[in-house]
Amino acid sequence: MIRGKTINIFVPDSNPRGIKICDIKDSIVKAIFIPRNKLDDIAKRTDVSEPGIYFLFGKEDEIGKPRVYIGEAENLLKRIKQHNRDINKDFWTTAIGFVSEKKNINKAHIKYLENYCCNKAKEINKYELENDTTPTQPSLTEQDVDFVLSFFDDLKILIATLGFSIFEKNKKEKQNLFICKGKKAYAEGEYAEDGMIVFKGAKSNFEEATSANEWVKNIRDLLLEKRVMHLENDVYVFDEDYTFSSPSSAAVALLGRSANGWTEWKDKKGKTLSERFRKS
Protein backbone atom coordinates (compact mmCIF):
# COMPACT_ATOMS: atom_id res chain seq x y z
CA MET A 1 0.00 0.00 0.00
CA ILE A 2 1.35 3.42 -0.96
CA ARG A 3 1.40 5.83 1.95
CA GLY A 4 0.77 9.54 1.53
CA LYS A 5 3.11 12.35 2.52
CA THR A 6 2.31 15.61 4.27
CA ILE A 7 4.20 18.39 2.49
CA ASN A 8 4.28 21.94 3.81
CA ILE A 9 4.85 24.90 1.48
CA PHE A 10 5.41 28.29 3.11
CA VAL A 11 5.26 31.43 0.94
CA PRO A 12 7.07 34.16 2.96
CA ASP A 13 5.94 37.14 0.88
CA SER A 14 2.46 35.79 -0.01
CA ASN A 15 3.48 35.65 -3.69
CA PRO A 16 2.71 32.12 -4.98
CA ARG A 17 5.19 32.62 -7.83
CA GLY A 18 7.92 33.89 -5.54
CA ILE A 19 10.10 32.32 -2.86
CA LYS A 20 8.82 29.05 -1.37
CA ILE A 21 10.03 27.05 1.62
CA CYS A 22 9.04 23.40 1.33
CA ASP A 23 9.44 20.44 3.68
CA ILE A 24 8.00 17.02 4.50
CA LYS A 25 6.54 16.29 7.92
CA ASP A 26 9.04 14.34 10.08
CA SER A 27 11.88 14.87 7.57
CA ILE A 28 15.09 16.86 8.04
CA VAL A 29 15.15 17.97 4.38
CA LYS A 30 14.14 21.54 3.56
CA ALA A 31 13.81 22.92 0.01
CA ILE A 32 14.21 26.63 -0.74
CA PHE A 33 12.73 27.67 -4.09
CA ILE A 34 14.21 30.92 -5.41
CA PRO A 35 13.20 32.64 -8.65
CA ARG A 36 16.32 34.29 -10.08
CA ASN A 37 14.84 37.78 -9.73
CA LYS A 38 14.30 37.19 -5.99
CA LEU A 39 17.92 36.58 -4.96
CA ASP A 40 18.12 39.86 -3.05
CA ASP A 41 14.83 39.14 -1.26
CA ILE A 42 16.05 35.77 0.02
CA ALA A 43 19.25 37.19 1.55
CA LYS A 44 17.64 37.93 4.94
CA ARG A 45 16.97 34.21 5.55
CA THR A 46 19.74 32.41 7.45
CA ASP A 47 18.87 28.92 6.16
CA VAL A 48 19.81 29.81 2.57
CA SER A 49 23.39 30.49 3.71
CA GLU A 50 23.83 26.97 5.11
CA PRO A 51 25.66 24.03 3.46
CA GLY A 52 23.65 22.06 0.94
CA ILE A 53 23.04 21.07 -2.64
CA TYR A 54 21.41 23.30 -5.26
CA PHE A 55 19.83 23.02 -8.72
CA LEU A 56 19.70 25.76 -11.35
CA PHE A 57 16.80 25.20 -13.77
CA GLY A 58 16.13 26.79 -17.14
CA LYS A 59 13.88 26.10 -20.12
CA GLU A 60 14.88 25.87 -23.74
CA ASP A 61 12.26 25.59 -26.46
CA GLU A 62 9.22 23.39 -27.00
CA ILE A 63 11.38 20.49 -28.16
CA GLY A 64 14.63 21.01 -26.30
CA LYS A 65 14.90 19.37 -22.88
CA PRO A 66 14.83 21.61 -19.81
CA ARG A 67 18.32 22.40 -18.57
CA VAL A 68 19.80 21.94 -15.11
CA TYR A 69 23.06 22.59 -13.33
CA ILE A 70 23.69 20.67 -10.08
CA GLY A 71 26.14 21.94 -7.49
CA GLU A 72 27.03 21.96 -3.81
CA ALA A 73 28.20 24.71 -1.50
CA GLU A 74 28.99 25.43 2.12
CA ASN A 75 27.05 28.68 1.68
CA LEU A 76 24.24 28.17 -0.84
CA LEU A 77 23.29 31.81 -1.35
CA LYS A 78 26.88 32.95 -1.87
CA ARG A 79 27.43 30.26 -4.52
CA ILE A 80 24.12 30.89 -6.32
CA LYS A 81 24.91 34.62 -6.45
CA GLN A 82 28.24 33.76 -8.10
CA HIS A 83 26.30 31.88 -10.78
CA ASN A 84 24.04 34.90 -11.16
CA ARG A 85 27.08 36.95 -12.22
CA ASP A 86 28.49 34.22 -14.49
CA ILE A 87 27.66 34.99 -18.15
CA ASN A 88 28.50 31.38 -19.05
CA LYS A 89 25.60 30.15 -16.90
CA ASP A 90 22.92 32.52 -18.07
CA PHE A 91 20.32 29.86 -18.94
CA TRP A 92 18.67 29.50 -15.53
CA THR A 93 15.57 31.19 -14.16
CA THR A 94 15.04 29.22 -10.93
CA ALA A 95 17.29 27.92 -8.16
CA ILE A 96 16.29 25.31 -5.60
CA GLY A 97 18.55 24.71 -2.60
CA PHE A 98 18.32 21.82 -0.14
CA VAL A 99 19.55 22.04 3.45
CA SER A 100 19.13 20.02 6.62
CA GLU A 101 16.69 21.24 9.28
CA LYS A 102 18.99 19.72 11.91
CA LYS A 103 22.13 21.30 10.38
CA ASN A 104 23.75 17.85 10.35
CA ILE A 105 24.90 17.64 6.73
CA ASN A 106 28.64 18.11 6.12
CA LYS A 107 30.92 18.74 3.13
CA ALA A 108 31.47 15.03 2.42
CA HIS A 109 27.71 14.39 2.54
CA ILE A 110 26.88 17.14 0.03
CA LYS A 111 29.75 16.16 -2.29
CA TYR A 112 28.43 12.58 -2.33
CA LEU A 113 24.88 13.86 -2.89
CA GLU A 114 26.05 16.09 -5.76
CA ASN A 115 27.71 13.12 -7.49
CA TYR A 116 24.66 10.90 -6.90
CA CYS A 117 22.20 13.50 -8.24
CA CYS A 118 24.29 14.10 -11.38
CA ASN A 119 24.46 10.38 -12.13
CA LYS A 120 20.72 9.95 -11.51
CA ALA A 121 19.87 12.90 -13.76
CA LYS A 122 22.00 11.39 -16.55
CA GLU A 123 20.40 7.98 -16.09
CA ILE A 124 16.81 9.27 -16.22
CA ASN A 125 17.71 11.73 -19.01
CA LYS A 126 14.74 14.09 -18.76
CA TYR A 127 16.91 17.19 -18.33
CA GLU A 128 19.98 18.44 -20.17
CA LEU A 129 22.75 18.38 -17.56
CA GLU A 130 24.86 21.57 -17.77
CA ASN A 131 27.72 20.26 -15.59
CA ASP A 132 30.92 20.00 -17.65
CA THR A 133 32.12 17.02 -15.62
CA THR A 134 30.58 14.62 -13.13
CA PRO A 135 31.65 15.62 -9.60
CA THR A 136 33.95 13.22 -7.76
CA GLN A 137 32.31 10.88 -5.26
CA PRO A 138 33.98 11.02 -1.82
CA SER A 139 34.46 7.95 0.34
CA LEU A 140 31.83 7.63 3.08
CA THR A 141 31.07 5.07 5.77
CA GLU A 142 28.13 2.75 5.20
CA GLN A 143 26.16 4.69 7.80
CA ASP A 144 26.86 8.02 6.08
CA VAL A 145 25.90 6.64 2.65
CA ASP A 146 22.59 5.49 4.13
CA PHE A 147 22.05 8.98 5.58
CA VAL A 148 22.76 10.66 2.22
CA LEU A 149 20.48 8.31 0.26
CA SER A 150 17.69 8.88 2.77
CA PHE A 151 18.19 12.63 2.29
CA PHE A 152 17.96 12.10 -1.50
CA ASP A 153 14.68 10.16 -1.19
CA ASP A 154 12.99 13.18 0.41
CA LEU A 155 14.77 15.65 -1.91
CA LYS A 156 13.35 13.71 -4.87
CA ILE A 157 9.79 14.12 -3.57
CA LEU A 158 10.20 17.83 -2.82
CA ILE A 159 11.81 18.73 -6.13
CA ALA A 160 8.98 17.02 -8.02
CA THR A 161 6.41 18.77 -5.80
CA LEU A 162 7.96 22.09 -6.83
CA GLY A 163 7.45 21.19 -10.50
CA PHE A 164 10.72 19.58 -11.62
CA SER A 165 10.52 15.85 -12.48
CA ILE A 166 14.27 15.45 -12.94
CA PHE A 167 14.38 12.19 -10.93
CA GLU A 168 11.01 10.70 -11.98
CA LYS A 169 11.36 7.62 -14.20
CA ASN A 170 8.92 6.99 -17.02
CA LYS A 171 6.71 4.01 -16.28
CA LYS A 172 5.38 2.09 -19.25
CA GLU A 173 2.08 0.91 -17.77
CA LYS A 174 -0.28 -1.03 -20.04
CA GLN A 175 -3.44 0.66 -18.74
CA ASN A 176 -2.05 4.10 -19.64
CA LEU A 177 -0.59 3.14 -23.02
CA PHE A 178 -1.63 5.06 -26.16
CA ILE A 179 -0.70 4.46 -29.80
CA CYS A 180 -0.13 6.93 -32.63
CA LYS A 181 0.28 5.52 -36.14
CA GLY A 182 0.12 6.50 -39.79
CA LYS A 183 1.90 5.34 -43.00
CA LYS A 184 5.20 3.98 -41.60
CA ALA A 185 4.87 5.74 -38.24
CA TYR A 186 4.13 3.75 -35.11
CA ALA A 187 4.65 4.87 -31.53
CA GLU A 188 3.57 3.92 -28.05
CA GLY A 189 3.27 6.69 -25.50
CA GLU A 190 1.80 7.83 -22.23
CA TYR A 191 0.01 11.03 -21.28
CA ALA A 192 1.73 12.13 -18.07
CA GLU A 193 2.03 15.16 -15.78
CA ASP A 194 4.81 16.69 -17.90
CA GLY A 195 3.19 16.09 -21.30
CA MET A 196 3.18 13.25 -23.83
CA ILE A 197 5.92 10.66 -23.42
CA VAL A 198 6.92 8.88 -26.65
CA PHE A 199 8.75 5.68 -25.78
CA LYS A 200 12.11 4.60 -27.14
CA GLY A 201 11.89 2.62 -30.40
CA ALA A 202 9.01 4.69 -31.82
CA LYS A 203 9.04 5.10 -35.62
CA SER A 204 8.34 8.42 -37.32
CA ASN A 205 7.50 8.98 -40.99
CA PHE A 206 10.56 10.02 -42.98
CA GLU A 207 8.58 11.95 -45.59
CA GLU A 208 6.70 15.05 -44.54
CA ALA A 209 3.32 15.94 -45.99
CA THR A 210 3.38 18.57 -48.72
CA SER A 211 1.13 20.66 -46.47
CA ALA A 212 3.57 20.49 -43.54
CA ASN A 213 4.22 23.97 -42.16
CA GLU A 214 7.38 25.43 -40.62
CA TRP A 215 6.39 24.31 -37.13
CA VAL A 216 6.27 20.67 -38.28
CA LYS A 217 9.66 20.94 -39.98
CA ASN A 218 11.26 22.72 -37.03
CA ILE A 219 10.12 20.12 -34.50
CA ARG A 220 11.55 17.27 -36.54
CA ASP A 221 14.77 19.11 -37.36
CA LEU A 222 15.37 19.80 -33.67
CA LEU A 223 14.80 16.15 -32.74
CA LEU A 224 17.39 15.13 -35.32
CA GLU A 225 19.81 17.85 -34.25
CA LYS A 226 19.54 16.77 -30.61
CA ARG A 227 19.93 13.10 -31.61
CA VAL A 228 16.62 12.11 -30.08
CA MET A 229 15.92 10.15 -33.28
CA HIS A 230 17.93 8.90 -36.25
CA LEU A 231 17.20 7.73 -39.80
CA GLU A 232 16.98 3.97 -40.25
CA ASN A 233 15.44 2.08 -43.21
CA ASP A 234 13.30 5.01 -44.44
CA VAL A 235 11.91 5.88 -41.00
CA TYR A 236 13.12 7.94 -38.08
CA VAL A 237 13.63 5.84 -34.94
CA PHE A 238 13.56 7.31 -31.42
CA ASP A 239 16.71 6.51 -29.44
CA GLU A 240 15.23 7.36 -26.05
CA ASP A 241 11.98 8.03 -24.22
CA TYR A 242 11.09 11.62 -25.02
CA THR A 243 8.54 13.91 -23.36
CA PHE A 244 6.76 16.42 -25.58
CA SER A 245 4.99 19.42 -24.09
CA SER A 246 1.66 18.36 -25.66
CA PRO A 247 0.03 15.37 -27.41
CA SER A 248 -0.13 17.41 -30.63
CA SER A 249 3.59 18.23 -30.81
CA ALA A 250 4.30 14.51 -30.31
CA ALA A 251 1.86 13.53 -33.09
CA VAL A 252 3.31 16.17 -35.44
CA ALA A 253 6.84 14.82 -34.90
CA LEU A 254 5.71 11.25 -35.61
CA LEU A 255 3.40 11.86 -38.58
CA GLY A 256 5.30 14.63 -40.34
CA ARG A 257 2.21 16.78 -40.78
CA SER A 258 -0.14 19.02 -38.82
CA ALA A 259 -2.07 16.86 -36.37
CA ASN A 260 -4.41 17.02 -33.41
CA GLY A 261 -2.77 14.79 -30.83
CA TRP A 262 -5.96 14.51 -28.80
CA THR A 263 -7.54 12.49 -31.62
CA GLU A 264 -4.41 10.88 -33.14
CA TRP A 265 -3.39 9.11 -29.92
CA LYS A 266 -5.68 6.13 -29.15
CA ASP A 267 -5.66 3.36 -26.58
CA LYS A 268 -5.88 -0.32 -27.51
CA LYS A 269 -9.68 -0.16 -27.43
CA GLY A 270 -9.67 2.66 -29.98
CA LYS A 271 -10.60 5.43 -27.56
CA THR A 272 -8.85 8.71 -28.28
CA LEU A 273 -6.90 10.66 -25.73
CA SER A 274 -9.68 13.24 -25.84
CA GLU A 275 -12.34 10.63 -25.04
CA ARG A 276 -10.29 9.31 -22.14
CA PHE A 277 -9.20 12.57 -20.55
CA ARG A 278 -11.44 15.39 -21.76
CA LYS A 279 -14.87 13.83 -22.27
CA SER A 280 -14.99 11.35 -19.43
pLDDT, tens digit, 9 for 90 and up, residues 19-32: 999 999 999 999 99
* Domain coverage including residue 273: 174-277
Distance CA 169, CA 245 (A): 17
Phi and psi, residue 220, nearest 5°: -70, -40
Q: Could you say which of 121, 140, 161 is where a domain stops?
A: 161
Helix (H/G/I), strand (E/B), else coil: 183:
coil
Same domain, 137 and 178: no
Same domain, 63 and 200: no
Same domain, 119 and 27: yes
Q: Beta-carbon neighbour count of residue 28 at 10 Å?
A: 17
Residue % of the chain over a pLDDT of 90: 74
Same domain, 116 and 27: yes
Phi and psi, residue 223, nearest 5°: -65, -40
Domain count of the fold of the chain = 2
Task: Answer yes or no: is 14 within a domain.
Answer: yes
Same domain, 157 and 182: no
pTM, two decimals, is: 0.80
Task: Please list, in sequence order, all residues whose beta carbon lies within 8 angstroms of the beta carbon of residue 81, skipping any fewer than 6 positions away.
Answer: 39
User: What pLDDT was estimated at residue 67?
Assistant: 92
Largest Cα span, the chain: 63
User: What pLDDT was estimated at residue 64?
Assistant: 66
Task: Answer yes or no: is 1 within a domain.
Answer: no
> CB-based burial of residue 269 (10 Å sphere; 0-12 exposed, 13-18 middle, 19+ buried)?
exposed
Query: Which parts of the chain register pLDDT below 70?
Result: 1-2, 60-64, 173-174, 280
Task: Answer yes or no: is 166 within a domain.
Answer: no
Same domain, 18 and 83: yes
Half-sphere exposure of 181 (CA within 13 A, CB side): 9
Same domain, 138 and 16: yes
Same domain, 117 and 200: no
Same domain, 157 and 222: no
Q: Could you say which of 126, 161, 196 is where a domain stops?
A: 161
Same domain, 100 and 143: yes
Task: Answer yes or no: is 127 within a domain.
Answer: yes
Task: Answer yes or no: is 168 within a domain.
Answer: no
Selection from 125, 57, 121 nearest residue 91 by Cα = 57
